[in-house]
A and B are shown apart, each in its own frame.
Chain A
C-alpha cells in the first residue's frame, strides 16, 4: 500500500518562499545515492536527496528486500533491507534532507552556474551540483494494457490510491494479487469511513503473493458474501456514454464475462522507467549516462552520475562499484562547492576533522 502523504506537507513545500538553496542534490535514494550523502558529508557538502518512491532503498527495497546480497565488501551477507537500513544509519550524522515520493521534473542551468531543480510535488531547489543515482529509472506503476482503457485514467481507472475517500460508496473492481491489492480490498470492504458499495477482486490465478493473513481475511469476507473474488484476466473494457461501465474478464474456463463497475483499481506492482532523466541533455549511450572515470562527471559540468545509471569503458553494475564512484564524484564536485578550498584526502580512522564531522570522539591511543 502506498504510504499516505499528509497534504499539508505538499502545500508547505509549494508555498515555500523561493527555492531551497543547497550544495548538492542527489537524484535517487538507492544504496549508491545514500552512500553519496556519506561521501559528500565527509567533504562537508550538504545534500538534499530526491526519490520517486515514498521510501529510501531503491532497487534493494523494491526488487529484492529479502534476498541476500553476498558481494558487499566486509559484509559476508545482508538483505536489501539490511543494506538500506545500515546505510541510513551510516549517513545519519550528515542530516541530509529527503524529498520522497516525488520525481525530478525540471533541471535547468542558471547563468550563475547553479542548477534550478523542480520536482513533481513542487519542491524547488537551487544547487551547485547534481548527482544522478537513478539506478534503472524511477519506479512507476505497471499499467493494465487493454485497448481504450487509458482514456479513463485518473477518472475511473487508478494505479494508486491517493485519496481513499473518493472510492467510498462506489462499486469497485480491484485487480492484482500482491499486498497492495489485498490491503486495499480489505480496506474498502470492511466497515469504516471508506467502505465501498461493492468490491470485486480479480487475480489471474487462485494464489497470492500477499501476506497469508490478508488472503485468509479476504476469503472469509467472500464466504460471508461481503465481497467477490474472480480468477481471470481482464481482456477488454466497455464504455457507455463516455464512461467506463465494465471490464471483460476471461476466466480460467475460457469464458469471458462482463463485470460492471464505477471505479477500477489496478495493482500490478512497480516497474522502473528512465523517465525525464533521458531529456536533461546529457550524453547518453544505450540509455545510460556517459561519465568520465576520474570524477564520474557527465557531459554537463556540475552534474555527476553514479551507480547503475552511468556507463564508461568496463562499467559493471555492482553496488560496490557505485560506492567507489560516489567517493570520486564527491571529490570531483568539491571545487564547484568550495572553489577556494584545497581538498585533502583524509581518513576516518585518524582525522580529528572527520571525527568532528561524523560526531564521534577522537580515540586516544597510548
Chain B
C-alpha cells in the first residue's frame, strides 16, 4: 500500500509533494525524493503536485520503472524526513524532461 517516486524526480527534486503529504512520508536524498512505503496511506494528493509526474501508485508503476518500488523502500530507510517544501535543484529545469536518469542518482 504505497505510492512510488519514479526516476523523473532524479536531479530535479521540486519538493512540491512534501507540503501536501498528511503523513509526512517523504524522505530526502541529495538529488531525489523517496516515499516510505510503511508510512504512505495512498491518499494520492501528492500526485498532481509533482511538476514532472514522478509519483505513481505502486500498482501503476510502468514496466521500465518497476525497480523504483524496491529502491524507494530501501532509500527511505536511510534518508531523513522532509516535510517542508524547499527550492528545487538549481538545474532542475534542464533535467525535468530527461528519462533514464537512474545513473545520476546520488545515494
Contacts and interface: CB of A to CB of B under 8 A. Distances in A.
A352 B34 CA distance: 57
> Ordered nearest first, which 7 A-B pairs have the shortest CB separation?
A136-B41, A63-B22, A287-B1, A271-B39, A272-B41, A286-B59, A271-B23
B43 A136 contact: yes
Contacts of A274: 1
11 contacts: A59-B22, A64-B22, A136-B41, A136-B43, A137-B41, A271-B38, A271-B39, A272-B41, A274-B1, A286-B57, A317-B43
Contacts of A272: 23, 41
Interface in B71-101: 77, 80
A317 to B, nearest CB: 7
B34 to A, nearest CB: 14
Main secondary structure of the interface of A (DSSP, over half): loop
A344 interface: no
Nearest to B81: A204
Interface residues of B, number: 12
B42 interface: yes
A341 interface: no
Nearest to A272: B41
Contacts of A63: 22-23
Nearest to B58: A286
A76 B49 CA distance: 25
Indicate the size class of the contact surface on chain A. 10 to 19
B80 A204 contact: yes
Nearest to A288: B42
Contact of A136 (B42, B57, B59, B80): B42
B22 A142 contact: no
Main secondary structure of the interface of B (DSSP, over half): loop
B27 to A, nearest CB: 12
A10 B30 CA distance: 50
Nearest to A317: B43
A255 B62 CA distance: 41
Interface in B15-69: 22-23, 38-39, 41-43, 57, 59
A342 interface: no
B59 to A, nearest CB: 6
A137 B41 CA distance: 9
B6 to A, nearest CB: 18
Given A271-B39, A272-B41, 8 more contacts: A136-B43, A142-B39, A233-B80, A271-B41, A272-B23, A286-B57, A286-B59, A287-B1
Contacts of A204: 80
A286 B41 CA distance: 12
Contacts of B22: 59, 63-64
Nearest to B25: A271
A212 B43 CA distance: 31
A145 interface: yes
Contacts of A136: 41-43
A251 to B, nearest CB: 14
A131 to B, nearest CB: 21
Nearest to A135: B41
Contacts of B77: 145
A332 to B, nearest CB: 26
Contacts of B41: 136-137, 271-272
Contacts of B38: 271
Nearest to B38: A271
Interface string A303-324: 0000000000000010000000
Interface string A255-294: 0000000000000000110100000000000110000000
A274 B41 CA distance: 9
A59 B80 CA distance: 24
A68 to B, nearest CB: 14
